[in-house]
Structure 1
Amino acid sequence: MNERDLLAFESAMQAIDEAINAVTGEIDRDYLGETALARLSTVEAELRRSRLSLEKLIRDYPS
């Protein structure tokens, strides 16, 4: 993996982290209805899975 690829992966992980924080903040405010909270919880879980997938790609990528 070259430096450019690594920077792209790190940038993607940072964007995912920012999205997770934003979604978590909305969930924690607790002013949304049950349906909206359920959807946001699903989004949060998907973002976390995506981040784990990126981490695995970086770990498993041949050097």
Structure 2
Amino acid sequence: MEICERAEAFIEVGGELVFDHTKLILRRQDGDEYFYARTKQRTSPFSTVDIGGLEKTKIPTEDVATREK
């Protein structure tokens, strides 16, 4: 699996925004299935994420909008 997209999520604590988790969109190597996962780890494009250790939720194919390159 590979990470297609990632986004950080923040929550408000005492009037300040604080990092809460990173949302990940994963794609199987064959490109036919997509999954949603989240991690408490703050990531960057250069971070190593243990994808195998994440709880993944399959995204229904009809809900996937792919970008043409």
Q: TM-score, normalised by structure 2?
A: 0.22
Task: Name the structure where helix makes up a greater proportion of residues.
Answer: 1
Task: Name the structure where strand makes up a greater proportion of residues.
Answer: 2
Structure with the greater relative contact order (CA < 8 A, sep ≥ 6): 1 or 2? Answer: 1
Instruction: Give the number of the structure whose alpha-carbon radius of gyration is greater.
Output: 1
Q: TM-score, normalised by structure 1?
A: 0.23
